[in-house]
């Protein structure tokens, strides 16, 4: 048997959905994330689905995003939005808070956060 993937470890689709829902609920609720909230559409329903589909594959589970849209080209898809250090750090803080709120074990959440950081930093298209 191969080692469990992060997708297995987190608890599969229902757990990924819960994480994404908490992430976007927080983005809507918390004043500290208003900067990145403003970059998103008025309704977050489409954003929730896309991040959920993407994260299932990114964590080693089913490739729902790729099945629907092909290669993610994530950096290119973020180019319409100004993403600098402040936006990256708000995204990371929101995701870390969401991971804690859904009860991910701290050491596992820290490892995921390190991977999220690499992806979030790669999305930066502005120096500051
Ligand atoms: C660094 C800060 C980030 C900001 C400010 C940001 C912001 C955004 C915005 C405004 C959208 C468009 C929402 C929509 O079309 O509904 C988007 C889409 C998306 N973001 Fe991010 N994002 C960031 C980082 C990330 C990271 C780290 C990931 C993955 C781990 C990610 C995954 C996605 C995905 C999968 C989409 C949908 C792309 C599409 O199909 O159009 N984003 N993001």
pLDDT digits (tens, 9 = 90+) for 68-83: 999 999 999 999 999 9
pLDDT of residue 2: 78
- State in Å: Cα 78 to ligand 1 middle: 6
Q: Among 42, 61, 77, which residue has the most ligand 1 atoms within 8 Å of its CB, making it the best to mutate? A: 77
**Model-wide pTM > 0.85:** yes
In the structure, what pLDDT confidence band is assigned to residue 127 with cuts at 50, 70 and 90? confident
CA-wise closest residue to 38 among 73, 71, 82, 1: 82
Helix axes 85-101, 106-122, angle to 10 degrees: 160
C-alpha 36/C-alpha 83 separation (Å) is 9
Tens of pLDDT, residues 45-72: 999 999 999 999 999 999 999 999 999 9
CB neighbour class for 11 (10 Å; exposed up to 12, middle 13-18, buried from 19): middle
pLDDT of residue 104: 98
């Amino acid at each position: 048997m191969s080692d469990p993937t992060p997708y297995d470890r987190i608890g599969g689709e229902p757990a990924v959905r819960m994480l994404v829902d908490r992430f976007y609920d927080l983005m809507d609720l918390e004043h500290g994330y208003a900067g990145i909230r403003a970059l998103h559409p008025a309704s977050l329903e489409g954003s929730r689905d896309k991040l959920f589909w993407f994260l299932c594959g990114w964590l080693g589970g089913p490739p729902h995003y790729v099945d629907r849209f092909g290669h993610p080209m994530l950096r290119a898809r973020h180019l319409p939005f100004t993403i600098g250090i402040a936006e990256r750090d708000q995204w990371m803080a929101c995701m870390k808070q969401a991971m804690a709120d859904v009860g991910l074990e701290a050491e596992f959440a820290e490892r995921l956060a390190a991977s999220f950081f690499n992806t979030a930093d790669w999305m930066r298209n502005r120096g500051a």
